[in-house]
Structure 1
């Protein structure tokens, strides 16, 4: 464990994209998430087509994240991922400042909300982003999916990007940004 080596994450801000977190879990006793934490969906998934038209939202506006209130981890995956980084007993950075970004309005992540939030995080004082989401193929092939500029903005901002490699046996050494773990 990293915290057994006196590396506890104090002064580090970590943003986690996942299915939310159960803050009542024993690993998080006495801890408080960063105020920017919450549930988010993209504008296109937050409003009806009539509302989108009435607001005049077009193009990139539809990527904008919309806060939907308090988060709740109904799948448990976000709690598991968060405990590995921020958990008091098992986390590698139990003293980090954690921003939990629940981007699962259903059983899969809202990829447009993730794109919008990555754009916002690139301009904040975030040290690392964890995205243990399905979709490694999109990351590998981001030239095709127009996500490459988003990841390059993270690299330019000096943020570390932590991704799960999945269970597909993909060669993740072919990533295009150097700050990927």
Structure 2
């Protein structure tokens, strides 16, 4: 029986390989297949990214070609393990300069995909996880509103403009958000869920904690911002392909908000994405978040918790994002925090109290660059809300960097010695 199955499998491979290449492609010219040594790859899952100049017609033809290959394979295997392997396209992407798709493909179909002249590169899909370290005063808020190191009289004092965050949307791409938490005061809504098989709720608390630091009434930096939950992580983390789908949805939702404001004769203040997550290096994920910035959204990401170079991970190594490392109440780099030239700024990230799950008043104190990133995402929303005119992501970055407290930290490990500050005086 096994020999017969093996023979059919070999016949299948022969049949697929005999098919013509995509769009004039050649067996001798294959798109690069990218994988990274520090990534947790998912077997047989891939992200395919098209070249920038590819037309809609060629994209449609490419998808048809893939469907044809999958059809031929499925004819050979009507059930069983091979049918699971060749499950096909799972997500398609088309936003700004990012076009592509992701899915599960056999080696023979993958080889044909790589022959296409329209494919820029193929990347092995990989897992991503929240950038969290461990399990109640919000000293972080106090620190970003004081130039000097905190003392007893300033430890729990947050100085801020009461209008901060007005008219700004903060997208939390994470585990979801407990949108009914009292600390959000009705300003949180559910956006979308791209975590397969998971309910529309935060089961882990991570996303709720992040959202609370961005815009919670008690624990938030920008206390008037609107919060949108975009779920891409479940209890076991998530995948780059799901995260990219979440980014695409966010860009579309942001563009709709801009258009709606324009039609109403209003000016949309702006939007921020927070991504307190990460994994191995990924060109596909880096490209996706860079395109979100190109669309006009400020993207803030966690540097990661491996005590290593943030440039070696994604999305922390992406060119256009604001990458945030973690500091402590003693004004040192947190021992776990990633570092390096890809870091733009530090923010409080150890023993941070914020909102949680389990009840609509729950809180928790945890640590990680996941907690540092939302301080800066909140700061971006804060500055966007205070500005009389809309700001570009580059202008927001410049504002954050130019306002930061300089040379306040010890042991920054080849990172910029900049600590987030809200400029309140």
Q: TM-score, normalised by structure 2?
A: 0.32
2:297 aligned with 1:142 = no
Runs of 4+ in 1 over 6 A off after TM superposition: none
Shift, 1:158, TM fit: 2.6
Distance 1:38 1:103 in 2: 9
Q: Give the aligned CA root-mean-square deviation in angstroms.
A: 2.6
Alignment match of 1:10 (pick from 166, 172, 191): 166
Alignment match of 1:128 (pick from 272, 276, 290): 272
Question: Is the CA contact (8 Å cut-off) linking 1:159 and 1:179 kept in structure 2?
Answer: no
Shift, 1:92, TM fit: 0.7
Deviations 1:89-133 (A, max 9, x none): 110112112111122344212432211121232342462111112
Distance 2:173 2:282 in 1: 18
| 2:321 corresponding residue in structure 1 | 179
Question: Is the CA contact (8 Å cut-off) linking 2:174 and 2:232 kept in structure 1?
Answer: yes
| 1:21 corresponding residue in structure 2 | 177
Distance 1:128 1:18 in 2: 14
Distance 2:276 2:318 in 1: 18
Residues 115 and 178 of structure 1, relative CA distance in 2, 3 Å threshold: closer
Deviations 1:37-74 (A, max 9, x none): 24333xxx46xxxxxxxxxxxxxxxxxxxxx76x2222
- Higher strand proportion, which one? 2
SS across alignment from 2:300: strand
Range that drifts further, 111-120 or 170-179: 170-179
Question: Is the CA contact (8 Å cut-off) linking 2:170 and 2:271 kept in structure 1?
Answer: yes
Residues 115 and 173 of structure 1, relative CA distance in 2, 3 Å threshold: closer
Larger RCO: Structure 1 or Structure 2 (Cα < 8 Å, ≥ 6 residues apart)? 1
Question: Is the CA contact (8 Å cut-off) linking 1:151 and 1:177 kept in structure 2?
Answer: no
Q: TM-score, normalised by structure 1?
A: 0.68
Alignment match of 2:247 (pick from 86, 110, 118): 118
2:239 aligned with 1:85 = no
| 1:100 corresponding residue in structure 2 | 229
Question: Is the CA contact (8 Å cut-off) linking 1:155 and 1:177 kept in structure 2?
Answer: no
